[in-house]
């Protein structure tokens, strides 16, 4: 038995073996091809990670930093680091009461799959501002791609968020659908 993290190196169960149609002999061979030590495994995955970063035009040795938000404040975990929320549409100072539902869905989806994602959550000052901004804003809900980051070397592809424009009202705890905000996706 090779020493390593439990899940990585544990024997496949009989069920698993049957499912994948592998014989016990092939299984032994697969075990043999496992990295011989944790250090080998670590060295190899680090090299793969660095290569993926460089292929995406990023510097693997640059420490992770908060991204720039739409209005210039630094963004971490979808929110401005200085907690000075500004309306995504008009830029005026606002609260976190009205939030674009599609952007929130996208944020949750991405946060669960791409570590260190720099997606910014979109808060609005009013219903009117959201409706007025819709024609421009809706494009933000299109399909996108997130390249490798310092914390995650995979490339993630995300589907478009569908449906009419809607705001989540964090005070009334309800979703406000606007039929005038026609979906594009
Ligand atoms: Zn506004
Ligand atoms: Zn949105």
How far is the centre of ligand 2, averaged over its atoms, from the C-alpha of 109 (Å)?
Answer: 13
Task: Output the pLDDT for position 1.
Answer: 45
One domain for residues 31 and 95:
no
Please indicate, yes or no, if residue 17 is contained in any of the structural domains: yes
Find the range with the poorest average confidence among 58-67, 128-137, 168-177.
Answer: 58-67
Please indicate, yes or no, if residue 1 is contained in any of the structural domains: no
pLDDT mean over 117-121: 88
**84: number of CA atoms within 13 Å, CB side?**
10
Ligand number with the minimum distance to the CA of 100: 2
Model confidence pLDDT, tens digit, residues 2-16: 444 444 444 545 555
Q: Does the pTM exceed 0.95?
A: no
Ligand number with the minimum distance to the CA of 95: 1
Residue 150 near residue 63, CB atoms below 8 Å = yes
Find the range with the poorest average confidence among 26-40, 113-127, 137-151.
Answer: 26-40
Residue 106 sits at φ, ψ, to 5 deg, of: -60, -45
Task: Output the pLDDT for position 12.
Answer: 47
One domain for residues 40 and 82:
no
Residue 98 near residue 67, CB atoms below 8 Å = no
One domain for residues 50 and 71:
no
Ligand number with the minimum distance to the CA of 138: 2
One domain for residues 74 and 34:
no
Residue scoring higher pLDDT (48 or 57): 48
As for how many domains the chain has, the answer is 2
| Calpha distance 138→124 (Å, rounded) | 14
One domain for residues 81 and 135:
yes
115 is in which domain, residue-wise?
67-177
The answer on pLDDT for 66 being more than 50 is yes
One domain for residues 96 and 11:
no
One domain for residues 74 and 115:
yes
* Residues with a beta carbon under 5 angstroms from ion ligand 2: 100, 102-103, 122
One domain for residues 33 and 124:
no
One domain for residues 79 and 157:
yes
Please indicate, yes or no, if residue 121 is contained in any of the structural domains: yes
* Helix, strand, coil in percent for the chain, rounding step 5: 35, 15, 50
Ligand number with the minimum distance to the CA of 131: 1
Model confidence pLDDT, tens digit, residues 81-90: 999 999 999 9
Residue 38 near residue 72, CB atoms below 8 Å = no
One domain for residues 16 and 81:
no
The answer on pLDDT for 25 being more than 70 is no
């Amino acid at each position: 038995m090779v020493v390593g993290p439990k899940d990585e190196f544990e024997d496949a169960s009989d069920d698993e073996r049957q499912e994948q149609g592998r014989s016990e002999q092939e299984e032994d061979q697969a075990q043999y091809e496992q990295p011989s030590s944790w250090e080998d495994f670590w060295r190899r995955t680090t090299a793969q990670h660095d290569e993926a970063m460089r292929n995406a035009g990023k510097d693997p040795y640059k420490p992770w930093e908060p991204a720039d938000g739409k209005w210039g404040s630094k963004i971490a975990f979808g929110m401005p680091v200085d907690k000075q929320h500004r309306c995504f549409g008009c830029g005026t100072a606002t609260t976190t009461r009205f939030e674009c539902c599609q952007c929130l869905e996208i944020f949750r989806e991405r946060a669960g799959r791409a570590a260190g994602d720099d997606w910014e959550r979109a808060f609005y000052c009013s219903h009117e501002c959201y409706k007025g901004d819709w024609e421009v804003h809706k494009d933000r809900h299109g399909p996108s791609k997130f390249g490798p980051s310092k914390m995650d070397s995979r490339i993630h592809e995300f589907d478009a968020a569908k449906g009419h424009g809607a705001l989540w009202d964090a005070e009334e705890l309800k979703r406000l659908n606007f039929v005038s905000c026609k979906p594009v996706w």
